[in-house]
Structure 1
Amino acid sequence: MAKELELYIHIPFCVSKCRYCDFLSAPADEEERERYVESLCSRIRSCKEFAKDWHVSSIFVGGGTPSLLTGEQMGYIFRDIRETFRVDDMAEITVEMNPGTVSEEKLKAYREAGINRLSIGLQSANDQELKCLGRIHTYEMFVHSYQMARDCGFSNINVDLMSAIPFQTPESYEKTLRTVAELVPPPEHISAYSLIIEEGTPFYERYGEGKHAEELPAEEEEREMYVRTKEVLEEYGYIRYEISNYARSGFACRHNLGYWNRTQYLGIGTGASSLIGNKRWREGEEPEILTEKEEMEEFMFLGLRKMEGVSETDFRNVFQKEMQEVYGLILQKMKEEGLMEQAGDNWRLTERGIDISNYVMSEFLF
C-alpha cells in the first residue's frame, strides 16, 4: 500500500534580499533561473523508482520567490512531478509569491499547472514598514496582485504578516491585521510571525546584541501585538490552529500540518530538507540517522505547536510505547504549572503555556 508523502520544491531566487532574511536565496538572471529549472526537473525525474511506494498529498513550492519563475517554467516542474509521482486528486498544491512578481498570464499558467493555493508575502500594510524590511513592493502592489489572483480563480490564499518590525507600534500592527482581514474577499489563511533577528543578515548587523534597541518595539509592545493577533483575527472568524497560523474553517494549511505531525516529506532543490523514516537530510548532504529519542522529541515539540496538541494514541502507534511511560513526570509538572492540560486523548498547551511555549517544549528534550 502506498504511503503518504509531502513534496517540498525549493526555488532559491529573489529580486533582492530582504534585510531580515536568512533563507537560502539570492538574485539571479533569467539564464541562471532557466538552468536551475532544467536541473530541478532532472532531479524530479530521477525519483521515479523511489516514487513507486508513495502517494503525494501536498506539494509546497517555497523560496526565495518561486513566483519569479515563468508560467512555462512552473508548467515544466509540475509536468515532471505528475509524470514521476502519484499526486492525489485532492492534493493541496501551494506556491509562495511576492506582490509585483506575477501577471495575469503567469497566474493562469499556474492554475493550468494544477496549483490551487497561493501564499503571498505581504508582511505589513504600512509602506514605511515594508521599506524598512527591504521589501520590493507597496501595499497597493499587494492589493493589485491579490485581486488579480482572485480574478484568475484562486480561492485558497494565505497572507504572511510580521510583527515587531522596527518602528512598528501596536496600533500600526493592528491596522495591518484589520486591513488584511477586511479584504474582499478575505484571505482564507493568515500566518502571523514575530520578527526574529538572525545572524548573517543586515538586520543583525544593525540590531544584533541589543544595538539600536530604541528602534524596535519594546518588550511590552511586542507582547501586546502577540495578544492582539489572536483577539483581532478571531473577530473576523479566523481560528488559531497553530501558534502562528490562523485559518477560516476548512482552510488550515495541510502541508504545514503534515510537517508538525511529522508526515514524511521529500525536499527537492538546493538546500531542501527531507524526512523519510528515521533519516533526515538536506539536498546534497549525507543523511542524519535520528534516534528514537530524537524522534520522540520531535513528535512532542512539533506537535505541541498545534492548538489540538499531541495524541497519546498517535504516540503509542508510532513508538509502541505509552506517552505517560516516557514523559509522565514532565506532563504532570507542566499540568501543575498551568502550562498544559489534557483534553481526552490529547495533551495541549494552555493559553499561558502558549505564551512561553519555547520553555514548555524545551522540557521535552532529553
Structure 2
Amino acid sequence: MSAPLHLYLHVPFCVRRCTFCNQKIYPATPETCKAYANALLAELEATAPDFSGDPVQTVYWGGGSPTALSQDDFARIMRRIRELFSLAADTEITVEALPNRVDASWMVAFQNTGVNRLVLGLATARIPELERIGSANNMPSSETSLILPQLFHLPGYEATLLYGIPGQTAANFATSLRFAVKYKVSALRLDPLTLPKGVEETVCRDEVPAMLDYAARHLTEKGYHEYLPGRWAKLGQECRDLLARQSTENYLSFGPGTTTRVDGGLSRNTENIAVYTLHPQEPELLYKPVTRA
C-alpha cells in the first residue's frame, strides 16, 4: 500500500563560509560538485525501487548551497527524480539559495525543472550586519533575489532572517523585516543566530524579545500567520516540507550527515563525504540506525 513520501537532497558546498556558520560545508569546485552530483544520483537510484508508486509530496534541496552545483547537474538530478519517483503536478519542490547566487539563468533552470518554491537566505537587510557575520550577500543581490521570483511567476518564495546578530538592535531587525515584507515574500523564517563554540561576541540578548514581539505584530498586520515556531506564511503558502518533518510520514534524505525516517525508524547517513562520494550505493557503509533517546 502506497504512503506519502518526502525527499530531501543535501548539497554541502558553499562558495564562502560565513563567520558564524555552524554547518559542515566544503569548498565548491567543478570537480567535487560533479562527483557529488553523480553520487546523489547513484544513491537515489539505489533507494527508489523500495518506494515505487509512493506519491512524493515534497522535494527539498538544502545545504550548504544547492546552486553550487552546475545548472546541468541540477537539471540532470531533477529529471532522474521524476523518472524514479511518483511526482504529482502539485508536488512542492523547494530550493534553498543565497541571494548572490540567484540570477535570471537560475530562474530559467528552476522553471524548466519544476521548482515552485525558493528559500532565500537573506540573513539581514543591513550592510553592517552582513559584514559582521561575514556574509557574501549584498543589498543589490538581496533585492534582485526578491524581484526575480515575481518576474518569473514563481508560486512561492520565502526569506530567512537572523536575529541576535552581534550589535543588532530591535530597530535594526525591524528594518530587515520590513524590507522582506515590502517585496511580498510568501513566507518568512526567523532564526536565532547560533554562535560556534569558543566564539565570543557581544550579542544584545535583551533586544531579542522586542524583535520577536515586533515581528509578531507586523507580520500579523500584513496577513501572515505563525504555523510553526518562527515560521510565518500567508495562508496556503506554508512550507509543506517543514510540516512533513514534524509528521511521521516517510522522509528520505540523501547526502552525508542526513537522517532518513521510514515507517517510524530513523537511520543516519555517513558524515564522511569521501566515503559517500565513493560508495553511494553501498548501504552497509552509508547508513547507521538512530536510537531514540
Partner residue, 2:172 = 172
Q: Which has the higher contact order (CA 8 A, sep 6+)?
A: 2
In the TM superposition, 1:124-135 aligns within 5 A as 124-135=124-135
Q: Over aligned residues, Cα RMSD in angstroms?
A: 1.5
Among residues 193, 197, 204, which one is paired with 1:195 in the alignment? 193
Shift of 1:51: 1.9
Among residues 197, 203, 206, which one is paired with 1:216 in the alignment? 203
Partner residue, 1:122 = 122
1:71·1:110 contact (CA, 8 Å) conserved in 2? no
1:74·1:110 contact (CA, 8 Å) conserved in 2? no
In structure 1, how many angstroms separate the alpha carbons of the residues matched to 2:248 and 2:23?
22
Partner residue, 2:219 = 233
Shift of 1:238: 0.9
In structure 1, how many angstroms separate the alpha carbons of the residues matched to 2:90 and 2:145?
25
In structure 2, how many angstroms separate the alpha carbons of the residues matched to 1:153 and 1:180?
17
Structure 2 stretches lacking a partner, 5+ long: 270-285
SS in structure 2 opposite 1:125?
A: coil
1:118·1:156 contact (CA, 8 Å) conserved in 2? yes
1:206 aligns with 2:194: no
In structure 2, how many angstroms separate the alpha carbons of the residues matched to 1:149 and 1:57?
22
Partner residue, 1:265 = 251
Partner residue, 1:106 = 106
Q: Which has the higher strand share?
A: 2
Partner residue, 2:290 = 288
2:53·2:86 contact (CA, 8 Å) conserved in 1? no
Shift of 1:155: 2.4
SS in structure 1 opposite 2:23?
A: coil
Partner residue, 2:14 = 14
Q: Which runs of 4+ in 1 moved over 6 A?
A: none
2:156·2:237 contact (CA, 8 Å) conserved in 1? yes
Shift of 1:53: 5.3
In structure 2, how many angstroms separate the alpha carbons of the residues matched to 1:69 and 1:103?
14
SS in structure 2 opposite 1:206?
A: coil
Q: Which letter does structure 2 place at the counterpart of 1:190?
A: L
Deviations 1:67-93 (A, max 9, x none): 222221111111111111111221100
Partner residue, 2:233 = 247
Structure 1 stretches lacking a partner, 5+ long: 200-204, 295-366
Shift of 1:36: 0.7
Partner residue, 2:276 = none
| Rg (Cα) greater in structure | 1
Q: Which letter does structure 2 place at the counterpart of 1:44?
A: L
In structure 2, how many angstroms separate the alpha carbons of the residues matched to 1:77 and 1:114?
12
In the TM superposition, 1:87-98 aligns within 5 A as 87-98=87-98
2:94·2:115 contact (CA, 8 Å) conserved in 1? yes
Q: Report the TM-score, using the length of structure 1 for normalisation.
A: 0.73
SS in structure 2 opposite 1:87?
A: strand
1:48·1:84 contact (CA, 8 Å) conserved in 2? yes
1:274 aligns with 2:260: yes
In structure 1, how many angstroms separate the alpha carbons of the residues matched to 2:146 and 2:209?
30
SS in structure 2 opposite 1:16?
A: coil
Q: Which letter does structure 1 place at the counterpart of 2:259?
A: S
In structure 1, how many angstroms separate the alpha carbons of the residues matched to 2:170 and 2:27?
33
1:71·1:107 contact (CA, 8 Å) conserved in 2? no
SS in structure 1 opposite 2:237?
A: coil
Of 64-73 and 119-128, more deviation after overlay is shown by 64-73
Q: Which letter does structure 1 place at the counterpart of 2:225?
A: I
1:156·1:188 contact (CA, 8 Å) conserved in 2? yes
Q: Report the TM-score, using the length of structure 2 for normalisation.
A: 0.90
Partner residue, 2:81 = 81
In structure 2, how many angstroms separate the alpha carbons of the residues matched to 1:289 and 1:194?
28
In structure 2, how many angstroms separate the alpha carbons of the residues matched to 1:69 and 1:152?
21
Deviations 1:235-261 (A, max 9, x none): 211111111100011101111011112
Partner residue, 1:325 = none
Shift of 1:150: 2.3
In structure 2, how many angstroms separate the alpha carbons of the residues matched to 1:44 and 1:96?
20
Shift of 1:145: 2.2
In structure 1, how many angstroms separate the alpha carbons of the residues matched to 2:110 and 2:181?
25
In structure 1, how many angstroms separate the alpha carbons of the residues matched to 2:248 and 2:3?
13
Structure 1 residues 165 and 22 mapped into 2: Cα distance closer, same or farther (>3 Å)? same
Partner residue, 1:353 = none
1:11·1:269 contact (CA, 8 Å) conserved in 2? yes
Of 242-251 and 25-34, more deviation after overlay is shown by 25-34
Q: Which letter does structure 2 place at the counterpart of 1:135?
A: S
The number of aligned residues is 277
